[in-house]
Structure 1
């Protein structure tokens, strides 16, 4: 572990080598650091999605978890996972993945959100924010917030 940290520090100090997710385990302390790392197209889309989430639900708290922005009120509600922030060793999709932590409980997400072999988390991969996506995201977010409030009250 010490060797990996030393490598990352050396790369970060070298002006000609930009650290990557594969080059020594880059970690972000803030959402802004994550955004600064992203290529322009992913940065713009992530910014649009952040703005949409905060407009629709200003009570959301933003934090970094798994190196990407997560949003919560009582429990994690959703996350934005840009394709350039790798899960594993290689990039497996383009754009930004908007995920819902309890997507399996969202009735509105059927047919819109992907689930693959996951039990709980569902997501949508976006390369652009279309008006239909925006409407659906607002609907899903309102439903997720309602479920979060119910869960806080002791309901499932």
Structure 2
């Protein structure tokens, strides 16, 4: 079963398809990731931008980009290693997922830039730690 009815060619095409408020939030989050992790590689996966160093670190999922037939309002920012982040304030939504934690934003004013940047940076450190520990086992 295909997850989305349409496959975007690149991030710009995906951005062009978004409603104005989602696009604004997505572009802001995208800039935040690329400013925090300038070495990160951006790629579309499941029709949304994922950011990787050794492995995927985080992703931005605009609500109007369907997961199967499911859409929602806002933009979700997910962390691949969310379960390993120090989230003492419970800022991130754990949901029913074991590893990926996220935060949904309905407006730019909801984004705590300092906190989100710290999670992005911490995710990059965890990515390197996971890579090094697997490398030692091999």
TM-score normalised to structure 1 length: 0.79
Does 1:140 pair with 2:97? no
Residue number in structure 2 paired with 1:112: 91
Residue number in structure 2 paired with 1:78: 58
For residues 95 and 27 of structure 2, what CA distance do their matches in structure 1 show?
A: 26
> Alpha carbon RMSD of aligned pairs, Å?
2.2
Quick one: which of 105, 113, 125 aligns to 2:104? Answer: 125
Residue number in structure 2 paired with 1:62: 42
Q: Residue by residue, what CA displacement relative to the aligned partner does 1:76-101 show, whole Å, maximum 9, x if unpaired?
A: 0000000000113232x311100001
TM-superposed deviation, 1:152: 1.9
Q: Secondary structure at the match of 1:88?
A: coil
Question: 1:26-105 to 2 correspondence within 5 Å?
Answer: 26-91=6-71, 93-105=72-84
Q: Which has the higher contact order (CA 8 A, sep 6+)?
A: 2
8 Å contact 2:57–2:124 — kept in the other structure? yes
Unmatched tracts of structure 1, length 5 or more: 5-20
TM-superposed deviation, 1:108: 3.0
Larger Rg: 1
Runs of 4+ in 1 over 4 A off after TM superposition: none
8 Å contact 1:31–1:63 — kept in the other structure? yes
TM-superposed deviation, 1:107: 1.1
TM-score normalised to structure 2 length: 0.88
8 Å contact 1:97–1:125 — kept in the other structure? yes
Residues paired across the two proteins, number: 134
